[in-house]
Homo-oligomer: A and B are copies of this chain.
Amino acid sequence: MAGSVNKVILVGNLGKDPEVRRMQNGNPVVNLTVATSDTWRDKGTGERKEKTEWHRVVIFSEGLAKVAEQYLKKGAKVYIEGALQTRKWTDPQGVEKYSTEIVLQGFNSTLTMLDGRAGGGAGGGGGYGGDDMGGDFGSSGPSSAPPQRRVAAPAGGGGRGSDMDDDIPF
């Protein structure tokens, strides 16, 4: 409905290498399996407890999917921002199934690598080759990386003072 927000923020590790499928036009669609976990100390016994939660992530955003395919490996720590989506499907036996996924698609989706260790896991061939490793990747369509524009000189001012400088903050 108008006036709604559907946002998921995860920081976790990949349980396995990204799974890549291809759209008919050749664009990649990437599935990630991301683990988060909570740890706490049992109030009664005092022993340490841990519960891992596994998340399905589907990346439709072309730019982010390419990044995921290229740089992410089992074990990589990522920051992910997407939306919840529940799919209903019927299995071959005719049983209805639901699958809830975090979808990265269109604006307001983010994928950020939080370590350079990615790929150290599994049978991982490791090594990226690129010099863009460990970067932030915003989702903004096929080919353009949206710059952090600054307003050059707003006509019709009312500026808050003179001599603005945008560098060192404090």
Once the chains bind, are B5 and A147 in contact (CB under 8 Å)? no
Q: CA–CA, A7 to B90, complex, Å?
A: 29
Q: List 28 A-B contacts (CB under 8 A).
A: A1-B36, A1-B50, A2-B37, A2-B134, A3-B79, A3-B112, A3-B115, A5-B136, A6-B10, A7-B10, A8-B8, A8-B9, A21-B155, A24-B155, A26-B155, A40-B148, A42-B147, A53-B86, A54-B86, A54-B170, A87-B166, A89-B161, A89-B165, A106-B148, A107-B140, A107-B146, A108-B139, A114-B114
Q: Which of A60-108 contact B (CB under 8 A)?
A: 60, 77, 79, 81, 83-92, 95, 97-100, 102, 105-108
- Asked if A135 is at the interface (CB within 8 A of a chain B CB), the reply is yes
Give 4 A-B pairs besides A3-B134, A53-B83 with Cβ atoms closer than 8 angstroms: A3-B77, A40-B146, A88-B165, A92-B162
Once the chains bind, are A4 and B9 in contact (CB under 8 Å)? no
Task: Give the residues in chain B near A139, CB-CB below 8 Å.
Answer: 107-108
Q: Which of A114-141 contact B (CB under 8 A)?
A: 114-115, 133-136, 138-141
- Bitwise, A1-45 to B at CB < 8 A (1) or not (0) is 111111111111100000101111010010000011111111100
Copies of this chain in its oligomeric complex? 4
Q: Which of A5, A41, A133 has the most CB of B within 10 A?
A: A5
Once the chains bind, are A151 and B114 in contact (CB under 8 Å)? no
In the A-B complex, the 5 residue pairs with the smallest Cβ-Cβ separation, listed nearest first, are A100-B100, A106-B146, A5-B11, A4-B36, A86-B169
A133 and B91 contact, Cβ closer than 8 Å, known pairs A22-B156, A138-B106, A148-B40: no
CB-contact partner of A152 in B24, B51, B110, B146, under 8 A: B24
